Structure 1
Amino acid sequence: MGENNTHDLDGVGVWGGGFTGGLVGGIAMGLVLHLGAGQIELLGALIADSGTAVGVGWTVHMVLSALFGLTFAALVSRRAVQDLVDSFSDYLVVGLVFGALLGLFAGGFLFPLAMQQAGVAALPLPFLPVPGVAGELVSALLFAIGHLVYGLVLGAVFATVNGVVPGGVGEYVPLER
């Protein structure tokens, strides 16, 4: 990662980048989860009846995405992190790591907690056309990919909002510094 920090973060960029990145990343991740395995509907079904599960699932998912985007902003704006992060690709790597850790936290703690609160002992599997253990593995893989997509998009949007763009973009787009 970079040795020289060539950009400054301000409060608007930090919180705006975290919130916007969280929402955009949440949409990208939500599409992976919704279209890949119906996991958004599954999330909503833990809270509401099946008739409104998709809408409730998307609402809860987007609220959590924005909150975790703000959490990312709070972490990545710390001086210790800023001393290491200096380029667009650095933000992508930090976003991927954040997404991976978030996936472990969500899959290992938040989702089981939501299941316990809803009184659900096991997920209604198979909810994929793939039966048994294969369906569970596909579901877990899509869950992991979704969180990596979230982190990647979050890192990219956060960096862009804060004026850190991929190398070479400045040659084609005038950037204010």
Structure 2
Amino acid sequence: MGVNNMHATDGTGIWGGGFIGGLVAGIAMGLVLHFGANLVELLGGLIPGTGVAVAVGWTVHLSLSVVFGLLFAAVASRPMVQEQVATFTDYVIGGLLFGAVLGLFAGGLLFPVAMQGAGIATFPLPFLPVPGVAGELLSALVFALGHLVYGLVLGAVFATINGVTPVGLHKRVPLVR
């Protein structure tokens, strides 16, 4: 069905794509989380002993983004996956699916465990932009949107680093092959 599009057989493109893709996607997602509902600040508050800290939140978020970018690279480079992935759009869709699954995993397991470890029993948290149930709903929506943005950007950057570009791009940009 698909064609093996991984041009970097030595792994440089695969791992570089996972690292850079994870970092760029983490920045994009972090901006959504930060400006959408102060959720990057929340990540900082989940680290014991740090209090509520935006810088700590960004550090934790970007570190996790790179780790999950490398996980995406490991999954995307598997022969079974490569048989199904042929185009830039395939990588973007794969990234979106990865982001959605990651959001469910993070929201359903990682986040509650981190909240328990930090001694935070429930929402609302004082730095959410809207109090009560509305704040919880806003946070959940921003969290979900952020993970979809992460996946979209991750898939696009990973594909591009590995030489898979959008259809027709090589016609508009002569240096892209």
Letter in 2 for 1:60: V
- Which structure 1 residue ranges, 4+ long, deviate > 4 Å from structure 2? none
Equivalent runs, 1:115-154 vs 2, <5 Å = 115-125=115-125, 127-154=127-154
Q: Determine the C-alpha separation between the residues in 1 that align with 2:45 and 2:175.
A: 46
Equivalent runs, 1:39-58 vs 2, <5 Å = 39-47=39-47, 48-50=50-52, 53-58=53-58
Give 1:123 shift.
Answer: 3.1
Identity %: 67
Aligned alpha-carbon RMSD (Å) = 1.6
Letter in 1 for 2:22: G
Deviates more, 1:12-21 or 1:112-121: 112-121
Q: Determine the C-alpha separation between the residues in 1 that align with 2:134 and 2:126.
A: 9
Give 1:90 shift.
Answer: 0.3
Asked if residue 79 in structure 1 is aligned to residue 79 in structure 2, the reply is yes
Structure 2: runs of 5+ lacking an equivalent? none
Q: Determine the C-alpha separation between the residues in 2 that align with 1:131 and 1:119.
A: 20
The answer to whether the Cα contact below 8 Å between 1:9 and 1:77 also exists between their aligned partners in 2 is no
Equivalent runs, 1:3-152 vs 2, <5 Å = 3-10=2-9, 11-47=11-47, 48-50=50-52, 53-125=53-125, 127-152=127-152
Q: Determine the C-alpha separation between the residues in 1 that align with 2:5 and 2:136.
A: 45
Query: Could you tell me the TM-score, scaled by structure 1's length?
Result: 0.92
Structure 1: runs of 5+ lacking an equivalent? none
Give 1:129 shift.
Answer: 3.8
Q: Determine the C-alpha separation between the residues in 1 that align with 2:6 and 2:115.
A: 43
